[in-house]
Amino acid sequence: MIQASYSMHINCGGNLVTDGKKTYDDDTGETTGPASFHNDRGKNWALINNGHFFDTDRLNYYNVTNSTKLVMENVELYMNARVSPTSLTYYGFCLGNGNYTVKLHFAEIMFTDDKTYSSLGRRVFDIYIQRNLVAKDFNIAKEAGGVGKAVIKNFTVVVTSNALEIRLYWAGKGTTSIPFRSIYGPLISAISVDPNFIPPSESGSSSISIIRVVVAVVVAGAIIILIFGILWWKRFLGWERSVGRELKGLESQTSLFTLRQIKAATNNFDKSLKIGEGGFGLVYKGVLSDGTVVAVKQLSTRSRQGSREFVNEIGLISALQHPCLVKLYGCCMEEDQLLLIYEYMENNSLAHALFAKNDDSEKCQLRLDWQTRHRICVGIAKGLAYLHEESKLKIVHRDIKANNVLLDKDLNPKISDFGLAKLNDEDKTHLSTRIAGTYGYIAPEYAMHGYLTDKADVYSFGIVALEIVSGMSNTISQPTEECFSLIDRVHLLKENGNLMEIVDKRLGEHFNKTEAMMMINVALLCTKVSLALRPTMSLVVSMLEGRTRIQEVVLDKREVLDDDKFEIMQQYYQHRGDNIIESQNLSDPTGESSKLFADTSSSGEQIES
């Protein structure tokens, strides 16, 4: 039997401190770093740091020390602090059950209180206790009345299972690079936990069974296995080492499912539940034990590209939360299986709804009226604006197309498939990278020169917007001398003054002509040959919602495909054909592909060279 304890005091990031009758434990563990677990023998607490400050070269960046003079009571508790890029969790265990007062001590010691650049920083994070949100958008300096000042937040907490969990979580708000890079995430100076009752005497003290402790250790071990693998990922292991070792234990904010759970959900990957197929594997519909309907993407372990997509999606989409992005529930890595578990999208993809052939009754049940099309276009724009400008990770998707926009039961759009996505370094004007994406949607500067910016996604969005208006795929199966693609047809109609002829004939007269012209003009701006002339996605949202006037689109003769350009493009695509990694029915824009929905569709050819 192990004796219970009834208090917990930690000097977060600092040395042992005695404050009157209380002694605050040392928390300077050198083993605490990116995605790490720390616990000292003899102490009734442990901590888990989740995430990695990739933008700093400092070795011990997870403990910080104040560099100015502090004037406050118990100043020793605030000279140092523990910080984390994403999530910092303290666990108290072997605590006697009952009501406790939890005091969290904070002081902002990384910013200054003057008129310099260092005073402009703003740290914002959320506080959870026993997995309940107790403080949202908590700003230390604001609560304390300035930087370098102490603030103590008191909470009454009920301990029922001899365990206490205090979690500080950064939700992507506040500044990130003031006064230098990687200044963000939660920061805490000290923790004090005391009972609101008189603890029993030593002779009559309650005890906790060994079984409970073993269970706690097992659970903690599982968490460690899940998050500790980040050290084996991202810059620490090259691809020349085993892909399995790189993926095992990849740190993320998603759940880790067992293969047994997934087999039960998909009836052992029953063929009747297969809802998609592509170059990287299969997609199955499944139902979890709690009744949640999911899409299970089974990536091929024999494909290096499939493994890379798995790493990319876990590493990126798990850190993103937006109504217009598909939600990743979790993953599974067992018995050489690489499985991604997503929310299930009842209405398939945007391509499925737009490009279904009239003679295919099974695929023609869904009809998009004008109001729905406009809402979908705005939703896609908002999702991209979040990726480019609003999320904590600035991301270029690289494969925006109608196939990768899914529709939920209410026909709301969600961007999916982040397998080719790239982090966008804000300190660089562009990324020089190998070409990846789908023919017909790749921006010209990226297709020809590998010059990648978020304006490549803007170009792809412009193509998708034209597809939404016209109901036609940009990939024309039989190009003519006049029109190599949908965008060429739009340019030709604009030259002839017949731009409204591009609107989907299936809509008849039931569409808003003003909104249609607005969407077409926005699409033409987004598909400008010069990336400098393309708008940002936040500006696109503003224009589509009617909050910003759309400038007159002047057609540049260079953007019209003449005979010489047509021949050059044909030769270029034939040359690129040697590097195709996924070919899907170029002539049939509703061919099967690997997505998260039933009878999924694909247009064009996806490349990565």
Task: Report the binding-site residues.
Answer: 297
Separation between Cα atoms, residue 102 and residue 69, nearest integer Å? 27
Contact 191, 8 (CB under 8 A): yes
Could you count the other beta carbons within 10 Å of the beta carbon of residue 575? 9
Residue 525 backbone zone (phi > 0: left; psi -120 to 50: alpha; other: beta): alpha
Contact 4, 206 (CB under 8 A): yes
Q: Which regions of 364-412 does DSSP assign to beta strands (E)?
A: 395-396, 405-407
Q: What type of residue sits at position 134?
A: V
Could you count the other beta carbons within 10 Å of the beta carbon of residue 244? 12
Question: What is the full DSSP assignment across 512-564?
Answer: -HHHHHHHHHHHHHHT-SSGGGSPPHHHHHHHHTTSSPPPP-PPPGGGS--HH
Contact 4, 207 (CB under 8 A): yes
Residue 225 backbone zone (phi > 0: left; psi -120 to 50: alpha; other: beta): alpha
Tokens for 284, please give them: 């199955």
- Measuring CA to CA, how many Å separate 174 from each of 126, 140, 232, 528? 12, 12, 29, 33
Tokens for 212, please give them: 């409970």
DSSP state of 290: T
Question: What is the full DSSP assignment across 561-586?
Answer: --HHHHHHHHHHHHHHGGGEEEE--T
Bind-site residues for ATP: 297
Separation between Cα atoms, residue 583 and residue 577, nearest integer Å? 10
Strands of 281-287's sheet in order across: 255-256, 328-334, 337-343, 293-299, 281-287, 274-278
| Structure-token match 């010069």, residue found | 530
Separation between Cα atoms, residue 432 and residue 418, nearest integer Å? 19
Question: What is the full DSSP assignment across 181-192?
Answer: SS--S-EE-EEE
Cis ω for the linkage preceding 179 (within 30 of 0): yes
What residues are annotated to the active site?
Answer: 399
Backbone angles phi, psi at 16, to 5 degrees: -60, 130
Cα angle, residue 378 at apex, residues 373 and 383 outer, rounded to 5°: 125
